Copies of this chain bind each other. A is one copy, B any other.
Amino acid sequence: HNKVDIECLINGEYSVVCRRDHDEVYLPFSFIHKYFEVYGKITPADGIYDPRGTFATFENYNVEVRDRVKCISGIEGVPVSTQWEPKGFFYPTQIAQYGLAHYSKNLTEPEPRVKIIDDGDKNLGNWIVSTDATVSREFDTELKSNILRFTTSDQASSQVWCKVNISQDFVLSLDLRLKPNSSLTVVLQNKDKKETVYLHYVTSLQLIYALDDHIYYGIGVEHKWRRLTRDLVTDMQKGWALLDKAKRKSPRNKFKISSIILMGEGSAANIRVSTSEHMAHFFAAARWLVSTQRARGGWPVRARRRVASRVPDLRAGWHSAMSQGHGISVLARAFHRSKDVSYLRAAQRALHLLDVPSSAGGVKAMWMDKYVWYEEYPTKPPLFVLNGFIYTLLGLYDLHVIEGDNSISLAKKMFDDGMLSLKTLLPIFDTGSGSFYDLRHFTLGVSPNIARWDYHATHVNQLYLLAGLDPDPILINTAKRWEGYMQGKRAAHN
């Protein structure tokens, strides 16, 4: 190969790693994107939006790889955010987006490859058992499946392990029931560098811990069956991030799973490795939403949030219309797939705070006492963030449709009210060459907050989606004009 990484000096000020191929030098788009403030994504929705289908363009989202995701928690199986709180916290919007992204990917990606390690039946793992360890197989009435029981001694060398050699797929899932001080360890090896990484899933409440080549995830301390579904590469990268190791781009093709190790005492079953397990991730998000919902139907955000200068911070415990709306979108889909009414009830409960003013702990603002706005950030005065409002409308639409088209539902009324607000106020978000992210210039009297191109592209995608649901020409015309702005077509002056 003649392709080499070279350092490119930008204006003599800083450097960017570029690719050289003979006489041509290739600059990374991530740099061009920021430097020239251009955008590189527009995914027009194809077909009419359906609450049973993909959510907006979320099949393109990879929530877990974001820097502000500390890791996927071992107990709940949902992302933990560090966006406004370095310790990490459960951010309901992010968890719902994680669910919606995996739900959408499940519909758009090809069928995953599945490699069964041990199903207790036709495919049995070749478990190597230390002399002071034991294994046995039996039928479990709770799981309704054959399981593998194991014990090892206190000796570090005492283990039950299974050699594997999987280098294309990295999502491990299994049923696991561990006694205290037991663990499951997955060994990953870098094929080039012979580097070895140990991912330990341990009986503890600690979120994540990393030391040298060892990364630990707590999976809880109760002695009960739990289904563990882990994207091993994500788990490895989040551990590296903790260690401040240089982030390696797409290392999937450099690694292989070389072994799975059981230690302590417990049982395992239905062990497999897949290209993806999107629905497992989706339902982890849905279960989290049901289990953490509060009496008023909300998912409070447990982090203080500085939104804008001149506006008091949102204090930990605030609600977001976007969390509520995204939560509803997840729960509506979970009900659709599972027919479990607890998801539907949770979605309906989540409506309540959309009708509670921000001043009373809810998320409702009014434009000039006339038009309701569901606030992504319920500040006083309100900000009227556009993208979060539209996502909330989608949640309302999802619930209404999933409830049954003939119902006269609260969700439908809230959706209709919100659409009236949107169709009325949408022009005020038009800059003539782009869009405003919010209306803080109106409510705070400050300089306008122009949407950067990726948010503008989000606005365009959202409007195309809504234009498929509502024939009012303001939606399709604005979507087209705003898409034109991305191609440099500006509004005329007089």
Identify the A interface with B (CB < 8 A): 37, 368-370, 427-428, 430-434, 436-437, 439, 441-442, 445-452, 455, 473-474, 477-478, 481, 490-494
Q: A427-B441, A437-B494 are in contact. Are A432 and B455 (CB under 8 A)?
A: no
Q: Are B431 and A431 in contact (CB under 8 A)?
A: yes
Cβ-defined contact, A491 with B432, below 8 A: no
Chain B nearest CB from A488 CB (Å) reads 14
Chain B residues with Cβ below 8 Å from A369 are 370
**Most B Cβ at <10 Å: residue of A369, A430, A439:** A430
- A370, B439: Cα distance in complex, Å: 19
Q: How far is the CA of A473 from the CA of B442 in the complex (A)?
A: 13
Pick from B436, B477, B478: contact of A432, CB under 8 Å: B436
Distance from A377 Cβ to chain B, minimum over Cβ atoms (Å): 12
Question: Considering residues A449, A455, A473, which has the most beta carbons from chain B within 10 angstroms of its beta carbon?
Answer: A449
Docked complex Cα distance between A37 and B369 (Å): 40
**Chain B residue, CB-CB nearest to A474:** B445
Question: B370 near A477 (CB under 8 angstroms)?
Answer: no
Whole-angstrom distance between the alpha carbons of A492 and B478 in the complex?
22
Question: B368–A450 contact, CB under 8 A?
Answer: no
Known: A449-B494, A452-B493, A455-B494. 16 other contacts (CB 8 A): A37-B493, A368-B368, A427-B445, A427-B448, A428-B428, A432-B434, A432-B436, A432-B448, A433-B433, A446-B477, A447-B492, A448-B491, A449-B492, A450-B490, A450-B491, A450-B493
**Which residues on B sit within 8 Å (CB–CB) of A430?**
441, 448
CB <8 Å contact, B442 and A491: no
Q: State the CA gap A450–B434 with chains docked (Å).
A: 13
CB of A186, distance to nearest CB on chain B (Å) = 40
In the complex, the chain B residue whose C-beta lies closest to that of A371 is B368
A–B Cβ pairs within 8 angstroms, 23 of them: A368-B368, A368-B370, A427-B442, A427-B445, A427-B448, A430-B448, A432-B434, A432-B436, A432-B447, A432-B450, A434-B493, A441-B491, A445-B474, A445-B477, A446-B477, A447-B481, A448-B491, A449-B491, A450-B490, A450-B492, A452-B493, A452-B494, A455-B494
Flag if B442 contacts A428 (CB, 8 Å). yes
CB of A475 to closest CB in B, whole Å: 10
A490: which B residues are within 8 A, CB to CB? 450
Shortest beta-carbon distance from A361 to chain B in Å = 26
Would you give the shortest CB distance from A426 to chain B, in whole angstroms?
A: 8
CA distance A385 to B22 in the complex (A): 59
Q: In the docked arrangement, what's the CA distance between A452 and B370, Å?
A: 32
